[in-house]
Amino acid sequence: MPIKKIAMALVILLLFLWGLWFLAVPESFLAGYLQRSLAGPGIALELTGFKKGFFYTLHVERASLNKRTPRGNQPPASPPGEGRGEGPAFVVVQNLDITPDMLSFLKLSPRFNFSGQVGQGRMRGAAGRERGGVTATVHGEHIDVGSLPILAQAGIYGEGRFAFDFRWKEPRGEIVFSVDEARLSGVFAGNSAIPMNFFKSVKGLLTLGNTITVNSLALEGPGIYVRVKGEIREGSLDGRAEVMVDASFPQYSLLKSFLERYTVSPGYYVIPFSHAALPSSGQP
């Protein structure tokens, strides 16, 4: 009998909590809570099409992780769940499913697990607050290149299979990524010395803070290898590109003559960038 009473009490408690979830907690409150919990001086979360699900799950039609501009450090004035941020987007996710980590709420450090669609690929991760700051880890794979705005900010467009790992711990973050089977277009940093269609693979590490630091961006194709380092500020790149090319490169003679003034040693060239314009969206 005691076991039956305990079981009945648990069922009643679950039904009570389930009723509170649907009747007493409005969606606008939950959306606003998520935005406030996962916002900080350098990062903002935008949610559109926010809905509650069964057993404390949440569904969002569109979620955008944005870099805050200096004027955007305050909570958005638009209604929670329907806001548009001021800064550029790092990543946009469709059909996002969110599940709260109930144990983390008991510890007063709320954390959420999530998964969703980015372009043609998938992503999953977790986000919450730790010691007063926002933390997040995200993994994505099989994503088409055009689905990540942060790549457009680095001047990378076209097609290819993209995979990434994103980590954020207030006030800094980093993204490690790779592009395979690349069919890229345009020119890097507006410099015709580096046409993107030469390259079949890209690997990179970007650090996100007050600026976007290109710690390492390696582009490789038949007979050519380029390594880029620098910083992106307000849509421009300051840094340098190291170019290594050999005679197996299909357009070796043409590119060699173009790169002549950047020669450091035979087959090795260094191209400096200073306020090189980077488009923020769309194809160049």
pLDDT per residue rounded down to tens, the chain (284 residues)? 566 555 555 555 554 454 555 555 666 767 777 777 666 666 778 888 888 777 778 888 988 878 766 554 444 434 444 444 456 677 788 998 988 887 776 666 778 899 999 888 999 999 887 776 788 899 999 998 878 777 776 666 788 888 999 998 878 889 999 988 888 877 665 555 567 888 889 899 999 887 889 999 899 999 999 998 998 877 677 888 899 988 888 888 888 888 888 899 988 999 888 766 554 444 44
Token pair 């996100």: residue: 208
The structure's pTM equals 0.70
Alpha carbon of 64 to those of 89, 116, 231: distances in Å?
6, 12, 23
Structural contact between residues 35 and 77, judged by C-beta atoms closer than 8 angstroms: no
Structural contact between residues 164 and 140, judged by C-beta atoms closer than 8 angstroms: yes
Residue of 122, 66, 57 whose CA lies nearest to 91: 66
Judge residue 47's burial from the number of C-beta atoms within 10 Å of its C-beta, 0-12 exposed, 13-18 middle, 19 or more buried: buried
Task: Check residue 152 and give its pLDDT.
Answer: 72
d(CA 18, CA 16) in angstroms, rounded, equals: 5
Structure-block tokens of residue 283: 């194809």
Task: Check residue 131 and give its pLDDT.
Answer: 74
